[in-house]
Chain A
């Protein structure tokens, strides 16, 4: 067992670059693990093939014995959100997976094309195109991968439905803790209850947490929350107990469409890049990766997403930053303020005694 610090990368140290934000190639090594630690694992949630079945939510609740809660996070309450098929509402102490539902429409010009989706015939923009016969290539892809949108296009609920003058699509996305490279919750935890696991994930030690609640507003995604009657905070552990036994997390195991993919993070990132290129090639203009960029405000996510619209449409912040990025400035201002108090009081005592 290696000596592992539950402290986050500190402010000082010889190589202070990227310790508070920015890319961090070896996140476990930074947390104090020996070089022989396992590879960093993560989730790639491909929302373009999510069917909104909520198997992930159920599997998560079952495996982690999470209590029931309503769409406001109220424990042991059952209630309908009244806004969509989404009655989970949000991530919280009792919901570690949350499937978002967004029904969208857009106006289209008549007549509707009768030969498939917009962009399906485009062959010049995508990457994996067989130069001899694009058609053969797509058949091959369809046979080899359930993730290929060509194969799904005939029944894809996200793009297939169309009316006379408008198209309808449903966006569904299974949200989860992002297991950030620079995790605000982990940085601010004063007890060391939150720690970086050997898999690069961020986990709460429930026997240490004293319920100070600092991690709750520190998370830029609004993931972690306090269970009020318990007093402690809870969030996704990426099934730490299953990982240590060589199993996949419950949600990824239960997902029937491979929308939730679990694996080594670098492998998932390569897979996501290829998937994005495929979708772009098929004319899905709005596809984008979220949390994939290691230069973003949290140094990239351990759990990242392929989205079909802006992040905020799914309830995700468009440009999150880890709050501790600015902490050195804050400490400087606080030190200056403290010195000012001493200086002002001292100068008030100087001079004529009144």
Chain B
């Protein structure tokens, strides 16, 4: 009882809880839950803490040790409350990574087409096409009934990020692979082969660049959403460490996507054309690190899984790869070797970030404390707010007539 509002609250209740001569015959239940706790020696409803053994995620830095202190909470034999996502690991985080890299690459490709950077445009189109096609394969592979993939397209629901995502991925993959296919026709052997299948191809050869550019522009329209919808996909769950940072995760994914897309196109392209890729990658790193810092530190106990165990290791590795990739890009990005090493490191960092975020969510689903404690805090905050309002009215009533019954 520290605040005056709490005192007032107690005072307001005092008259009704005073002795009435009709108390329960047994002990009055003064503790929450009337003093009931799990029978037996140790209270097994308090989950056993497993992570400490062997140092685990606690060993490598005192940052974790200084995190949220152990909070008291109850659970059903330490069992998790929500279900662990059934999504495949690492297929799904790889899908997030590829979607981001392909999405950014498609935007780079469209702009490179119209700014006289043919090699950058070509490489970005290939990167986007390959990434998008691999995304489709991974997404279908993750289904429990892959042969029913098209059921995704029988309804459209804005309440389902996966439904919206299906309508982003479908045109995106079609358009990026079309642009990449038109680009492949620039190669003589491919064109020769295609002419055998489609004999009239040479006659329409003049329209191929137009079709390619149109496809690239169309794909670019879906590129940004392709990179960020996956953040909504995981944030729109009951998984505590994914749901709580729902305002920041799309920016983590956007930054990570720019780092990956910029890095990959930079690594593939001669340095004199890859200037925009370098800038995109470096901006992406800044956005990703800033947003990720808020995810990792801004959500109390729910931020904890981002520092612990496998997720913590992955995210530390991701940060190391991203920062060193950005450093190499900034210092040596205009040399061929520097751009390749920097680009590979940036892409690796992006992939590790997605894997770390995925693991953190899985860990938060498996431990009931991440479900119970934030919800308890929510209830307490609500009751405090309600108590503050109720206090005002009760205080007036007390002043009006019952002040004499108050004892402190």
Contacts and interface: CB of A to CB of B under 8 A. Distances in A.
Given A124-B22, A213-B87, A348 B162 contact: no
Nearest to B235: A330
Nearest to B100: A341
Interface string B25-62: 11101001111111110001100000000000000000
Contacts of B160: 187-190, 214
A6 interface: yes
A72 to B, nearest CB: 10
Contacts of B155: 6-7, 190-192
Interface string B82-97: 1111110000000000
Interface in B93-140: 103-104, 107-108, 111-112, 115-116
**Max chain A Cβ within 10 angstroms of own Cβ: one of B32, B34, B104, B246:** B34
Interface in A274-305: 283, 285-286
A118 B26 contact: yes
Interface size class, chain B: 35 or more
B81 interface: yes
Given A103-B39, A323-B243, A314 B76 contact: yes
A334 B379 contact: no
A309 B75 CA distance: 11
Nearest to B233: A214
Given A222-B81, A340-B254, A309 B224 contact: no
Interface in B55-77: 73-77
A83 B45 CA distance: 10
Interface stretch (B175-183, B344-352, B369-377, B388-396): B369-377
A341 B250 contact: no
Contacts of A320: 238, 375
A324 to B, nearest CB: 5
B173 interface: no
B138 to A, nearest CB: 13
A217 B157 contact: no
Contact of B142 (A115, A212, A283, A341): A212
Interface of A: 6-12, 20, 81, 83-84, 89-90, 92, 100, 102-109, 112-113, 115-124, 167-169, 184, 187-193, 208-214, 216-226, 228, 230-233, 283, 285-286, 309-310, 312-320, 323-324, 326-327, 329-331, 333-342, 344-349, 353-354
22 contacts: A9-B159, A12-B158, A103-B40, A116-B25, A118-B27, A169-B36, A209-B145, A212-B152, A214-B237, A216-B86, A225-B86, A283-B24, A285-B34, A286-B34, A320-B375, A323-B243, A327-B232, A327-B236, A330-B246, A331-B158, A341-B104, A348-B276
For the complex of A and B, the 8 pairs showing the least CB-CB separation, nearest first, are A211-B144, A231-B144, A338-B224, A315-B76, A118-B26, A210-B148, A337-B254, A354-B275
